[in-house]
């Protein structure tokens, strides 16, 4: 699981705790105005340094970036992120037209952004070796429209069972399609506003883990697997997926890859973890 931390109004002791428990800590920018390369560089450095200095999370564990409203600064953003030793960006949206359509896998920008640009602007130049993990929008309950975030559908599921069905229908479309990693993108605040999302997600996670070739991983772990694809029979030896937690309370979860990505106000996140994983 990957937690996107803004750096503002956070309990950094909790960031440290969840990093030690094996969760990936990544950065979400909070500047909602347009960026240029200078302002983006200042923000990227400051937010990364805050996590390093106040959470005791080492720089080699911070790999990912997400832009507010999934609106990027074009090629300047990729240049800055590469300069600051980020590995990937998860800010670019891909929207399929119906449930049975296929989703793209993560890819490097060796040949630039080759998909439709759903939220302008998108990179137009080549950035060899830098990964983008497309935000593959889910299809809503009933397959009427697209949802970039779990809770952002116009046609929202209103019960626990409908939420569970909504998530599992999207999961099965990945599982029985091209098996592009299934990302569940969400804001932590939704769990305090609508408990049916939390209960429905809890049930869906248990359903997905009934499959013996399904793994819940962080985005960094998914990218590492793509660099070194490993067959299922050898996956227990795949070092990037092995537990390296510093505490005895690490969560390990048993193919298709699933990321759970949470844009967090870290102070309320502990309640989500308690519900989902005990």
Q: Where are the domains of the chain?
A: 2-277
Query: Which pLDDT score, from 0 to 100, does residue 140 have?
Result: 94
Query: Distance between CA atoms of 159 and 72, rounded to whole angstroms?
Result: 34
CATH class, domain 2-277, is alpha beta
Taking alpha carbons only, the member of 57, 63, 129, 119 closest to residue 91 is 119
Predicted TM-score (pTM) of this structure: 0.86
Q: Which residues contact 198 (CB under 8 A, 6 or more apart)?
A: 191, 272, 275, 276
pLDDT for the residue numbered 261: 55
pLDDT at residue 1 in the model: 84
Neighbours of 56 (CB within 10 A): 13
The pLDDT of residue 42: 87
Mean pLDDT per 10-residue run, the chain (278 residues)?
80 89 88 69 89 93 92 92 95 95 96 94 95 96 92 90 95 93 85 80 91 90 92 88 55 50 42 44
pLDDT of residue 235: 87
Contact 180, 104 (CB under 8 A): yes
Q: Which of 93, 85, 88, 196 lies closest to 141, judged by CA?
A: 196
d(CA 123, CA 120): 9
């Amino acid at each position: 699981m990957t937690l996107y931390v803004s750096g503002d109004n956070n309990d950094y002791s909790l960031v440290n705790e969840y990093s030690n428990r094996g969760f990936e800590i990544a950065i979400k920018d909070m500047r909602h105005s347009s960026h240029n390369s200078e302002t983006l560089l200042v923000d990227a450095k400051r937010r990364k340094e805050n996590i390093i200095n106040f959470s005791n999370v080492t720089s080699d564990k911070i790999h990912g970036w997400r832009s507010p409203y999934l609106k990027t600064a074009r090629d300047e953003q990729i240049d800055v992120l590469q300069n600051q030793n980020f590995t990937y960006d998860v800010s670019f949206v891909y929207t399929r037209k119906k449930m049975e359509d296929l989703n793209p896998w993560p890819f490097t920008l060796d040949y630039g952004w080759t998909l439709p640009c759903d939220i302008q602007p998108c990179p137009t130049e080549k950035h060899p070796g830098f990964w983008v993990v497309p935000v593959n929008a889910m299809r809503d309950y009933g397959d009427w429209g697209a949802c970039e975030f779990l809770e952002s559908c116009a046609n929202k599921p209103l019960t626990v069972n409908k939420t569970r069905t909504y998530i599992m229908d999207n999961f099965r479309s990945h599982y029985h399609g091209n098996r592009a990693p299934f990302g569940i993108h969400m804001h932590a605040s939704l769990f305090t506003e609508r408990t049916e999302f939390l209960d429905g997600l809890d049930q869906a996670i248990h359903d997905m883990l009934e499959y013996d070739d399904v793994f819940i991983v962080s985005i960094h772990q998914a990218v590492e697997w793509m660099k070194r694809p490993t067959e299922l029979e050898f996956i227990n030896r795949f070092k990037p997926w092995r537990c390296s937690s510093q505490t005895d309370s690490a969560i390990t979860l048993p193919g298709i890859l699933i990321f759970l990505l949470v844009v967090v106000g870290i102070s309320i996140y502990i309640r989500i973890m308690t519900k989902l994983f005990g």
